[in-house]
Amino acid sequence: MEKLNSTLGAVRSLRSSVRQCFEQLADGTNAELAEDSRTKFLLKFQENFNNMNAQLREVESLINGLQAPQTPYCLGQTTYLAQETAPERQALYSQLVNSYKWIDKVHDHSFLAFNNLNQNNLRRSYVYCSQKRVRIPFTSCNNFDPDHTDKLLSEINLPLTSYQVCRPFGSNVVVIVTISRVLKAAIVCKGVLIEWVTVKGFDETLDPDDLWAESRYEVFRKVQEHTHIAMLHFFSPTLPDLAIKSYMTWLHSYSKLFLEACKRCGKFVSNGLPPTWRDLRTLEPFHEECRNC
């Protein structure tokens, strides 16, 4: 990186001396002036020219010293910006780089400030600040690299359930979960945050291209509503891995959707529906009406 910087500096100085030389040439000499001023002009030009040559050689040698990076730079999600076709959005990349630099600087400064303030024993708040806590907010949970998501999902392994991972929208994951022979669910994630869940019956088709169509059965439409409630409940930006694991465990409790009676009223059917709600902690089944009373 340092070499690259010095090369760029050398190119910059070469450009400035070339400019100087041409400026001098453009100014020219005064025709009425004496012979010695002409030789002076010539000498000046030669000096400039030699300067230029020396700098050019320096640039060349520096360039030869440069190595191509072994691995391509990982640009993360920004690589998709190159696929942007709308002209007004093509300038986004430079803005992105600027804001990135800015955040980097903020981070540096805040780190320094934190160190300075930490030396001061006079504390004004009781909030405990440690070195470790600085790093946690820096992991943003909606921008994980795909390998991490794959690894996380492969770790989830519940009985009678199959997981099928596909990526129809770039690097973001859609997980198709088939629970026993009861239901299918498509979980749309952004990074490792759950954004949307679609629930359908075992005999219905769940097409990754059409994730917004609702199930034709009332019971699965109701279950879908409940999965959205749970999605908000389990949302946890600081511990995204744990959040997705607990969500999957909760969702798996639907493997006995038709098999379990409501814990409160002891009945299977109420208003033509089985107990569609599962308690978020105990995973016990309840009818929607029985859940709050």
Partner 1 sequence: MGVTVLLPYQIPEGKTGAQAIDYLTKRLLALGAIHTGQFLVDCETYISTPQHGPAKTVHVLHDSEYPASTFSILDNGAGKQIPLVADNLFDLLMLKMTSVYTSKKQTKIESKGARFEYGDFLIKLGSVTMMENFKGILIEIEYRPCVVLSYCWEMIRETLQGFLGMPIAKEYPAYFSQQIMNTMGQQQIHTKQNEVYEPIDTINQYLESFTNYRKQNVLPVAGGATGGASSAQNAAANMQGGNQRMR
- Closest separation in Å from C-beta 273 to partner 1: 5
Among 271, 281, 282, 292, binds partner 1 (CB under 8 A): 271
- Closest separation in Å from C-beta 293 to partner 1: 20
User: Which amino acid would we find at residue 284?
Assistant: E
> CA nearest 233: which of 220, 250, 219?
250
User: Which amino acid would we find at residue 42?
Assistant: L
Size of the site for partner 1 (CB under 8 A): 20
Residues 162-191 that bind partner 1 (CB under 8 A): 181-182
Alpha-carbon Rg for the chain in angstroms: 33
How far, in whole angstroms, is CA 23 from its chain's centroid? 49
Angle at 243 between CA 170 and CA 247, to 5 degrees: 90
Residues 37-76 that bind partner 1 (CB under 8 A): none
Among 41, 171, 201, 241, binds partner 1 (CB under 8 A): 201
- Closest separation in Å from C-beta 258 to partner 1: 4
Among 202, 235, 238, 242, binds partner 1 (CB under 8 A): 202
Tokens of 127: 């909030």
Tokens of 109: 């400064």
Residues 250-269 that bind partner 1 (CB under 8 A): 257-259, 261, 267-269
Neighbours of 76 (CB within 10 A): 11
Output 243 or 262, the one with its CB closest to partner 1.
Answer: 262
Stretch that binds partner 1, among 6-14, 66-74, 103-111, 199-207 (CB under 8 A): 199-207
- Closest separation in Å from C-beta 165 to partner 1: 25
Q: What CA–CA distance (Å, rounded) separates 41 from 23?
A: 12
Binding mask 210-239 for partner 1 (x = CB under 8 A): -------xxxx-------------------
SS3 139: coil
Q: φ, ψ for residue 166 (rounded to 5)?
A: -140, 160
Residue 278: strand pairing partners: 285
The residues that touch partner 1, with contacts defined as CB under 8 A, are: 181-182, 201-203, 217-220, 257-259, 261, 267-269, 271-274
